[in-house]
Structure 1
Amino acid sequence: MKRWSGTLFLTALLLILWLVLNDGLERGQIALGLVIALVLSLLAPILRPVRAHPARPFLGMRLIVQVAIDIARSNWEVGLRILHGQRSLACPGFLDIPLRMHDPHGMAALACIVTFTPGTVWAGHDPETNILTLHVLDLHDPQGLTRIIQNRYEGPLMEIFE
């Protein structure tokens, strides 16, 4: 029953997305969207052999709020820097951060968090050493940024996914 509820939810979501993207409610678009959504929903489990089992939903919600605040703050700081012409004061560089997390879903979430935040980009990850490489627009405090990534993001993600 749980599998079917997920399939029905994904089918409905894909159908709604199809109709929004096609900007219409014609019978042909609904039928075509329903067929495409059903086929994609039935094929989706094949594409995701490793299932996520997140725990601690309230911690996940707190993490989402924290990430939203951090993204807004970073947007503000990068925007002010650009508006004031302070591009020359930036100290760009690469930063290697040792990670403790191994769950692929947590790593994907961390990649999204880091990349969504202006001024930082996920530049690479070495699975053997579990070291994350970031490109940072302003690398004045590498130890501070390492602590932020490890404590503010990686710690909660480990509690949620591992």
Structure 2
Amino acid sequence: MKRLFPAPLLTLSLWALWLVLNLSLSPGHLLLGALLGFVAPLMFAPLRPLPVRMRKPGVALKLFLLVGRDVVISNLAVAWGVWRGGHKPPRSAFVKVPLDLHNANGLAALAMITTVVPGTVWSELALDRSVLLMHVFDLDNEAAFIAHFKSAYERPLMEIFQ
């Protein structure tokens, strides 16, 4: 049954959305909406994300709070760096961070964290998922940044997802 209806809620939602958008309950629209609701989830099943198994919710909560703190601190640091930009320009750099995290859901969470924290940008991930290229707005010490990134973000995500 799961092969025939990989996402039953999505099937029902697409069918209902079709009917609402067409403002009609005619037999043709009922049939077309049902066909759309049946075929679309089958076609797009390979694109669905992997199921997530979160192992340690306590670690996830700590990571959430740490990211929130880092967002506030980084916002202030970037604002200060922009404000004093004429006197002391920021030392922007690309950093290659070696990764031990290979889980697709964990890497997606790491990408979101990197995007949310001001001053860092996820630039490229190696094809074998072993190295992450990041751009950092103001970098004092590359080794210290890599150590902080791995211990603060990558290690907790490994505990949660692997």
The residue number in structure 2 matching 1:147 is: 147
Deviation at 1:107, TM superposition (A): 0.5
Q: Which stretches in structure 2 are left out of the alignment for 5+ residues?
A: 1-6, 25-32
Instruction: Check the 8 A contact 1:59/1:156 in 2, yes or no.
Output: yes
Q: Which stretches in structure 1 are left out of the alignment for 5+ residues?
A: 1-5, 13-17, 19-26
Q: Structure 1 residues 79 and 50 mapped into 2: Cα distance closer, same or farther (>3 Å)?
A: same
Q: TM-score normalised to the size of structure 2? A: 0.71
Q: Structure 1 residues 8 and 124 mapped into 2: Cα distance closer, same or farther (>3 Å)?
A: same
Cα separation, 1, equivalents of 2:136 and 2:68: 19
In the TM superposition, structure 1's runs of 4+ consecutive aligned residues that sit over 3 Å from their partners are: 6-9, 41-46, 84-88
Instruction: Check the 8 A contact 2:102/2:129 in 1, yes or no.
Output: no
Cα separation, 2, equivalents of 1:87 and 1:161: 44
Deviation at 1:92, TM superposition (A): 0.6
The residue number in structure 2 matching 1:23 is: none
Q: Structure 1 residues 66 and 129 mapped into 2: Cα distance closer, same or farther (>3 Å)?
A: closer
- Give the secondary-structure state (helix, strand or coil) at the position aligned to 2:154: helix
Deviation at 1:55, TM superposition (A): 1.1
Deviation at 1:46, TM superposition (A): 4.6
Deviation at 1:86, TM superposition (A): 4.7
Partner letter of residue 132 of structure 2? Answer: L
Q: TM-score normalised to the size of structure 1? A: 0.71
Percent of aligned pairs sharing the same letter:
31
The residue number in structure 2 matching 1:133 is: 133
Pairing of 1:1-162 with structure 2 (within 5 A): 46-86=46-86, 88-128=88-128, 130-162=130-162
Higher helix share: 1
Cα separation, 1, equivalents of 2:54 and 2:109: 12
Q: Which protein has the larger Cα radius of gyration, Structure 1 or Structure 2? A: 2
- Give the secondary-structure state (helix, strand or coil) at the position aligned to 2:135: strand
Instruction: Check the 8 A contact 1:81/1:87 in 2, yes or no.
Output: no
Deviation at 1:128, TM superposition (A): 2.6
- Give the secondary-structure state (helix, strand or coil) at the position aligned to 1:71: helix
Map Cα deviations across residues 104-129 of structure 1 (whole Å, 9 max, x no partner): 11001111111111111001111336
Cα separation, 1, equivalents of 2:87 and 2:153: 28
Cα separation, 2, equivalents of 1:42 and 1:88: 54
Count, aligned residues? 148
Q: Structure 1 residues 119 and 7 mapped into 2: Cα distance closer, same or farther (>3 Å)?
A: farther
The residue number in structure 2 matching 1:15 is: none
Cα separation, 1, equivalents of 2:120 and 2:87: 15
Deviation at 1:84, TM superposition (A): 3.4
